[in-house]
Amino acid sequence: MQSIDQHYMIDIPLLVRITSIADLHKNDLVLEIGPGTGYLTRYLQKIAKKVFVIEKDPKLLKELKEKFNNNKNITYIGGDATKLDFPNFTKCVSNLPYTICEPLMWRFIREKFEMLVFVVPLSFAEILTGKTPSRLKLLSDAFYEVEITQKIGPESFYPKPKTESALIKITPKEGNFFLREFFIQYDKKTKNALREILMKSGMTKSESQEYITLRLKPSIQDKNIVNLSLEEIKEIVKLFTQ
């Protein structure tokens, strides 16, 4: 089932290295997204207090349960990681499904965590750490400290992915109040999210509505935040923070 991004990491030294970059302790609550057949899970569960795995493929989830059947510190969650609520966790360590990397970067700004350690496509890692302006880069600069700790070739996986990969370590930043409050509501309409923020700052509902109507084009007001262009986001930030 290649359609849901299944490339298993078979490189043992790399699995050990991922665990060591995550600096796991016995009190850590680890979230793993897309455990697959559990290569990485095996290392995580040895050290962490608890591992929560979120896997979309029911067949793999069943196999995982059988594989780790005596292990009480793994909690199995079936479903799509971009849609589910996450349990409380201290670190998320995952060889991510490559197609959901960007939605997850939006998702994680809602969470409290110490560190994220991900294997992602190298091109994705380079967007986060590079200089080219984009929505993703803006999000990343505002909320995350990202470090590429190493590049990974296709031979570390079975089957081999087409692209080069990278191991990245991400630590959270508090970021600017307005941008955080705005981006956390990424799946809402722009006008509704802005109204929430203005009301939090003390305006009444009708004052907020009027404030937004006077400043923003209707075409922008009705877009979901996650669909705004970089230019539109910049315009909103300028209008509402100056």
Closer of 33 and 115 to ligand SAH (Cβ): 33
Q: 211 — phi, psi (to 5°)?
A: -55, -45
Contacts of 211 (CB under 8 A, 6+ apart): 198, 203
Residue type at 156 in one-letter notation: S
Give yes or no for a contact between 116 and 170, defined as CB atoms under 8 angstroms apart. yes
Question: Among residue numbers 141 through 170, which ones bind ligand SAH (CB under 6 A)?
Answer: none
> Which listed residue (9, 93, 116, 125) binds ligand SAH by CB under 6 A?
9
For residue 217, the minimal CB distance to ligand SAH (Å) is 34
Nearest in space to 73 (alpha carbons), one of 20, 35, 27, 114: 27
Contact, 16 vs 43, CB < 8 A? Answer: yes
> How far apart are CB 6 and ligand SAH at their closest, in Å?
4
User: Would you state the structure tokens that stand for residue 134, as one six-digit string?
Assistant: 């984009």
Mask: binding to ligand SAH, 48-67, rule CB under 6 A, as x and -? ------xxxx--x-------
> Per rule CB under 6 A, is residue 5 in the interface with ligand SAH?
yes
Residues 6+ apart with CB under 8 A from 30: 22, 24, 44, 48, 50, 51, 52, 89, 90, 91, 92, 93
Query: For ligand SAH, what does the binding mask look like between residues 176 and 215, x meaning CB under 6 A?
Result: ----------------------------------------
Q: Which of residues 69-98 bind ligand SAH (CB under 6 A)?
A: 80-82, 95, 97
**Counting contacts by CB under 6 A, is residue 34 touching ligand SAH?**
yes
C-beta closer to ligand SAH: residue 5 or 235: 5
Comparing CB distances to ligand SAH, the nearer of 100 and 233 is 100
Paired tokens of 59: 């067949």
68 touching ligand SAH, by CB under 6 A: no
> Any idea how long the chain is?
242
User: Smallest Cα–Cα separation from 115: which of 81, 77, 152, 144?
Assistant: 144
Task: By CB under 6 A, tell whether 28 contacts ligand SAH.
Answer: no
Binding residues for ligand SAH (CB under 6 A): 4-9, 33-36, 39-40, 54-57, 60, 80-82, 95, 97, 100
